Structure 1
């Protein structure tokens, strides 16, 4: 058990995942990371977890509750990108992205919500993308899942905020520094979202007073056109 608040990061990895773990640890949180490979972050409880598998998620959340007795923040930060012509995108690809981007969020939220409801406090934050509000050409599968995740976030906020749970969706409009997408699309430290700067905005969401909760936050680097 711990007196520290506990932040669980689902979909931990390089880029924003690492930035979130660093910023929340520095803010006094006990950090827990969930990733398919169990990638280690210093000072965190790192759990190997397939977020697309309901039983695996249930086991992992039970481990967190048994170890620390609480979950104060859950951040769903799963990356699942596909770019390609719609007519060349198979049903299997659509289903794979759906499982990774949407059902993983469903599994995790169904596990972390009950202890938050019991405590009448907590925050659930979803990492979204521009595709959640504007579907681009060749992004059919990706946009479909991001629209769905945004809709899930809106519904959860309306259902559970009266029970003390702050649900918010963060639109990340730009490349995330420290990830393969920067190399793939030609971004740089001067033009990309910087993970720890973005993570600070997630932390700010968890500190908002109940009289003025944000439902959706739109973040982009100063250089990004929109």
Structure 2
């Protein structure tokens, strides 16, 4: 079983859930520091921990072979985490995936490989994973799932070109994708990004 930090409502007492996915070198615990800034009062909140604090060893656009074993394992950790949410009776349409940096890439990759109507996907600085985007890796229909990708227009780790390519692919799969590219070069989560997701994804629906 994955190592999962849990806050918010207990799974069996919640109708909504969010899975928080940390970045490279960070921890599940560190992702929980976002919780006070998000409108998650009625959510069960789960934050899985990556083995060795990293979801895959190389950059997200490195050769597929280099990242394959670790990436497959990490996608499995997310699958187990989500399966726990499903087993508690929480629907996919009430489940949100949110990640930062490496975790943002993983949140997009996992949701695109399992596309259906989710409550939302939030990628704070990330894109789909792979040396090149391979449409055969992805299947399903997002059915209008809101997906937010926020980043710098010149982030050192995540090129804006890959973000736009990822958004195009996700839109073709039926997602309602919003991109915010800031002229601030920092590799960080910005206040306006937080405000957008609070107003558009973490609303009382």
Cα distance between partner residues in 1 of 2:46 and 2:183: 26
Aligned-partner SS, 1:113: coil
The answer to whether structure 1 residue 59 and structure 2 residue 69 are counterparts is no
1:168 to 175, 178, 181: 178
Distance 1:9 1:168, change over 3 A: farther
Unaligned runs of 5+ in 2: 1-10, 57-66, 119-139
2:195 corresponds in structure 1 to: 200
More helix by share: 1
**CA offsets per residue over residues 73-111 of structure 1, 9 Å max, x none?**
2224216xxxxxxxxxxxxxxxxxxxx886x46532334
Distance 1:152 1:119, change over 3 A: closer
RMSD: 4.2
Contact 1:6 / 1:32 at 8 angstroms: preserved in 2? yes
How far did residue 65 of structure 1 move?
Answer: 2.5
Contact 1:8 / 1:32 at 8 angstroms: preserved in 2? yes
Unaligned runs of 5+ in 1: 39-47, 80-99, 133-138, 183-191, 209-226
Distance 1:167 1:203, change over 3 A: same
**Which aligned pairs between 1:6-45 and structure 2 lie closer than 5 A?**
6-11=17-22, 17-18=31-32, 20-24=34-38, 26-34=40-48, 36=50
**Which aligned pairs between 1:72-221 and structure 2 lie closer than 5 A?**
72-78=95-101, 104=106, 107-114=109-116, 116=118, 120=143, 122-131=145-154, 142=157, 145-161=159-175, 166-174=176-184, 193-194=190-191, 198-206=193-201
Distance 1:155 1:118, change over 3 A: closer
Distance 1:37 1:8, change over 3 A: same
TM-score (norm 2): 0.51
How far did residue 122 of structure 1 move?
Answer: 3.9
Aligned-partner SS, 2:110: helix
TM-score (norm 1): 0.48
Structure with greater Cα Rg: 1
